[in-house]
Amino acid sequence: MITKSSSTSIIKNIAYELGFQFCGISNAEFLEDEALRLEKWLKSEMQGKMSYMENHFDMRLDPRLLVPDAKSVVSLIYNYYPAETQRIDSYKISKYAYGTDYHFVLKDRLKLFLDRIRTDIGEVDGRVFVDSAPVMDKAWAKKSGLGWVGKHSNLVHPKKGSFFFIAELILDLELIPDGPIKDYCGTCTRCIDACPTDAIVQPYVVDGSKCISYLTIELKDEIIPSEFVGKMNDWVFGCDICQDVCPWNRFSTPHSEPLFSPNSSLLNLSKNDWNDLTDEVFSELFKKSAIKRTKKSGLMRNIKFLKD
């Protein structure tokens, strides 16, 4: 007979075999504390024009509405920290977008994970999630001991930093939960001090409408608001500033996922190369990249805003 303890061990072993750096487990229950924070954040309109954040409020907070009779949430982190970064005299893109879109990479890995669970444990109902459904991934990762949510609102692991993707499996299987760990941000305010748009309005609260990642990716307007002129620090897709300055990222180590390795041409693009980007080069460089979310027109809008 497979016990709760043995099922937990099996799942954690599968996670490491599939390349996930850490695996933590929580009971599937209503996120009461997060409900209050989310409601206050939405009422303050910090979601900007990300109207989807207002949808499925209850579903975001209760995994049992996503998977009937859910018992456990399995949280996973997958490293994307690159061995090499862009040349200094370039427009900047977030490190997570260097290689193949993580949604494709991790979704395939998670489907294999669920198949392995069913093979090794038995009939289990569940769903997999990679930042593509109303799941509060950082809240679940925090509950399961994979780190604490830092003052910049990213999850920080004490041995891995914060350059990783978070994924979940919600299962109707009882497992032994892990507990949360301590917040080790202490008195540090490096992320707050470094944010050029003052998006971190107070420790642990980010005004999404001021975040460079929002302005360069989520905001679909033809023009970025003029209040951000001179504050974008050459970022044209996402932003890593708050992570780059975080002292915990001294523990970040290069990933070993070939699909996250960038095209060498991408890292060597100068500003002039970006300015002269053709449709053909864009399609070739970003064929399977998360950068396709902005399309070439969105990317050029961001570049034009920096030049004007």
Q: What is the pLDDT of residues 101-125, one digit of tens each?
A: 999 999 999 999 999 999 999 999 9
Averaged pLDDT, 14-38? 95
Best CA proximity match to 225, nearest among 41, 43, 93, 49:
49
Average pLDDT for the chain: 95
pLDDT confidence of residue 134: 83
pLDDT confidence of residue 49: 84
Whether pLDDT at 287 is above 90: no
Q: CA-CA distance, 188 to 54, in Å (whole number)?
A: 31
Averaged pLDDT, 220-236? 96
Whether pLDDT at 131 is above 90: no
Alpha-carbon separation of residue 233 from 64, 217, 306 (angstroms): 42, 15, 8
This prediction has a pTM of 0.94
Tens-digit pLDDT profile for residues 211-220: 999 999 999 9
pLDDT confidence of residue 228: 97
| Residues that are catalytic | 131
Tens-digit pLDDT profile for residues 34-89: 998 989 988 988 998 887 777 778 889 999 999 999 999 999 999 999 999 999 99
